[in-house]
Amino acid sequence: MDIIDSIILGIIQGLTEFLPVSSSGHLEIGKAILGDNLVPEESLLFTVVLHFATALSTMVVFRKDILDIIKGILKFQWNEDMQFFTKIVISMIPAVIIGYNYESQLAELFGGNIQLVGYMLLLTAFLLYLADKAKDTNKKVSFKNALVIGFAQAIAMLPGISRSGATISTSVLLGNDKTKAARFSFLMVVPLIFGKIAKDVLSGDITYDSSNFTSLSLGFIAAFVTGLFACTWMIALVKKSKLSYFALYCIVVGIIAIIYSYSAG
């Protein structure tokens, strides 16, 4: 992969992992425009590197929260931190089940399926619009909410549906505080990302070519730096009810993707 291409895709991943516009959808669009000439094994490695970068940026932004949760767990008491951790585990269940049982079917939906990405971006826009109109509250995410949000995260495995957009919107529509919804959304995905990375690495399907070191490194740095910015920015935007702007963006990009898919076909 060209160095410029890897940086561009890294920036796309870093921004869209947190902004509610679908990282998977934008990566598919980006690859289609730039021309994805990677073999599957190389593409998988690049994807793993970018996801590791954004997971790391999440941990940096929420480092205090994560440390507090770890300290709370180590007390071995049913305290607030242990309850929050339990909610995170509950939220992971739907995605783990669907990902484990339907991984190959989901993989077939990727690989330049721009038309699907376009329609799913329109769905994302609808969810964001609804969430932006919801009234703000002081309500925390409940155990039942965590499971429902987990189903939203599982549905967001489809290319074009924003994971952060789907989970934050679902949480807000359930009546939860917008800032707490964003915090839960970003923290709930960290264990899943590291679990997926471990699975991909242990599968033996990844091949590494030392000639790609520079491209991989620059892609990682681009995703990490932009991820730090996007994660922090997104929290502020959710709190200020600015999701409608992203809804409009998703509509525009979704329509363009659909038109592009028909013209290319």
167-184 confidence digits (pLDDT tens)? 999 999 999 998 899 999
pTM of the model: 0.86
SS3 letters for 79-147? Answer: CHHHHHHHHHHHHHHHHHHHHHHCHHHHHHCCCCCHHHHHHHHHHHHHHHHHHHHCCCCCCCCCHHHHH
| Structure token digits, residue 179 | 């800032």
| Other beta carbons less than 10 A from residue 209's beta carbon | 11
3-state secondary structure of 62: coil
Q: What's residue 65's pLDDT?
A: 93
Give yes or no for a contact between 175 and 139, defined as CB atoms under 8 angstroms apart.
yes
- Segment 212-243, tens digit of pLDDT: 788 889 999 999 999 999 999 988 888 787 88
